[in-house]
A and B are shown apart, each in its own frame.
Chain A
Amino acid sequence: MVKVTIDGISIEVEPGTSILNAARQIGGDIVPPAMCYYSKLEGSGGKCRTCLVKVSKGSEKDPRPMPKLVASCRTTVMDGMEVQNITSPEVTEARKGVVEMLLINHPLDCPICDQAGECHLQDLGYEHGAAKTRYEFDRRTFDRIDIGDKIQLHMNRCILCYRCVFTADQITEKRVHGVLNRGDHAEISTYIQKAVDNDFSGNVIDVCPVGALTDRTFRFKNRVWFTKPVEAHRDCEHEKCSGKVTLWYKGEDVLRVTARKDQYGEVEEFICNTCRFDKKKTSDWVIEGPRKVSHKSVISSNHYETLHPLPVVKTNPVLLEANKEQFERETRL
């Protein structure tokens, strides 16, 4: 076990743990945000630079600080390491710069985007006061691509986190999309607009931190914050699928089915395409109860935490009885 101190909070972790995961073991405000790192996907991380932290003391043996800010998702902890995240103004400043860089080619079309309200880039932008952009030049634009009949790719919004590529590599059997070109020209695409059709391809929608990959069956159906998330499960025939999902209700209709996400916006268990796209009736599911939504999220607005909310008017049996008598008397008259 190695001891690491993050923002003055010490914790003992396994050797080889990244700083980000050590911070997540502590939890709370000191966890660096991550746009590309995904704990369930091997090899993810190191692309977006939002998880930058300052290492003020390298280790017990070599107490020199690291010369530059490091990406916490790719830096492993050393014994006696001291890390500064929110306590260092340098880090918050750098992170603000990173957000601004991510927004250079991002179209900021949140009023149209279906991801708005659960978008990590939106949260990050607002957290760092960089919800606007100073960039005046033409952004790179692409036509939107339909990857199959269920998934839509808006390359404009992509921040090239590579999560979807890792998902396709590791969760599905065959990957048919990937990153074409290099550097500034890099884009997620499929050659010859090939349809992604295998049982787990829908998970790329959930892992996408922005609105680049969205559910075509939910396209413009409703805004996320007007729908009501409900936890549900079903016995899925697919051996790899857990069948544990979140249903997004509007009235009596299930508008969308997603996997359950934890506090870092990561999917708890991947679900198959049958659960995601084909089972959109209440009768298909066993309802567990409303999903707990953080009060910081816009989705929590006007939502009740109980399945059957308390009545607006408290029922008064005495009054009911009296009213019934009154009603009977009046009808007789």
Chain B
Amino acid sequence: MEPLSNKRKVIEAKPLNFWEKAYIPAIAQGLSITLKHFFKKDVTIRYPEQEREFSENFRGLHSLKRDEQGRERCTACGLCALSCPAEAITMTAGERQKGEENLYREEKYAAVYEINMLRCIFCGLCEEACPKEAIYLDGPIVPSDYLRKDFIYGKDKLVEPPLNP
């Protein structure tokens, strides 16, 4: 057949000489390459124990913030749930009772606040929508789990730990 281009290269298959037939130098060369990699820097990291540094604007697990007095900032206004394109957020509002002023900042608070991490796409729109600066996606990667129900994160997992426990 006529060649389509002039890039065709004819390879001459010469018979192997004695050393090539013995394969020893080739094996030694291969092993030396392997050995060299033992002393190189690791490409991978041991993930759960070790973590890579994320960029400034990395969006990970959500956290519900507290203000400087340790009160929860969220007032359950529902704007995060409204803006959520994946409809991952649900909440139930509660009314602050007398004596709970040190727990919640405003007279309404989120009694139940749930984010379905399987639905969440980590777009950060909830963060943008929040008028109270209460939610930020500043956590780590959401850990894996076995059951679907374990991916529905409630307030126990989302709210920041209190200032003075």
Contact = CB atoms under 8 A, between A and B. Distances in A.
Interface of A: 109-112, 116, 219-223, 225-226, 298, 301-302
A226 B95 contact: no
Nearest to B77: A111
Given A116-B77, A220-B76, 9 more contacts: A110-B77, A111-B131, A112-B75, A112-B107, A220-B95, A223-B82, A226-B81, A226-B82, A301-B82
Chain B contact residues, majority secondary structure: loop
B94 interface: yes
A214 B32 CA distance: 81
Contacts of A226: 78, 81-82
B125 interface: no
Interface of B: 75-79, 81-82, 87, 93-95, 106-108, 131-132
Contacts of B106: 109, 111-112
Nearest to A112: B108
A11 B93 CA distance: 49
A298 B95 contact: no
B82 A111 contact: no
Given A111-B77, A111-B132, A220-B94, A225 B82 contact: yes
A224 to B, nearest CB: 9
Contacts, number: 36
A220 B82 contact: no
B24 to A, nearest CB: 58
A137 B82 CA distance: 32
A109 B79 CA distance: 13
Nearest to A225: B82
B82 A298 contact: yes
Given A111-B132, A298-B82, A301-B82, A223 B108 contact: no
Contacts of A219: 95
Contacts of A220: 76, 93-95, 108
A155 to B, nearest CB: 15
Contacts of B76: 220
A298 B87 CA distance: 16
A256 B14 CA distance: 91
Contacts of B78: 222-223, 225-226
A113 to B, nearest CB: 9
Nearest to B83: A301
Nearest to B132: A111
B72 to A, nearest CB: 13
Contacts of B87: 302
Contacts of B82: 223, 225-226, 298, 301
Contacts of B95: 219-220
A56 B148 CA distance: 67
Nearest to A298: B82
12 contacts: A111-B75, A111-B77, A112-B75, A112-B77, A112-B107, A220-B76, A220-B94, A220-B108, A222-B93, A223-B77, A226-B82, A302-B87
A157 to B, nearest CB: 13
Nearest to A108: B131
A112 B74 CA distance: 10
Nearest to B74: A111
A116 B82 CA distance: 13
Nearest to B108: A112
Contacts of B108: 111-112, 220
Contacts of A222: 78, 93
Closest CB pairs A-B (n = 8)? A111-B77, A223-B78, A220-B93, A112-B108, A111-B75, A220-B108, A111-B131, A220-B95
A277 to B, nearest CB: 19
A112 B95 CA distance: 10
B133 to A, nearest CB: 11
A50 to B, nearest CB: 24
Contacts of B107: 112
A298 B129 CA distance: 14
A319 B131 CA distance: 48
A111 B77 CA distance: 5
B89 to A, nearest CB: 11
Nearest to A111: B77
Contacts of B132: 111
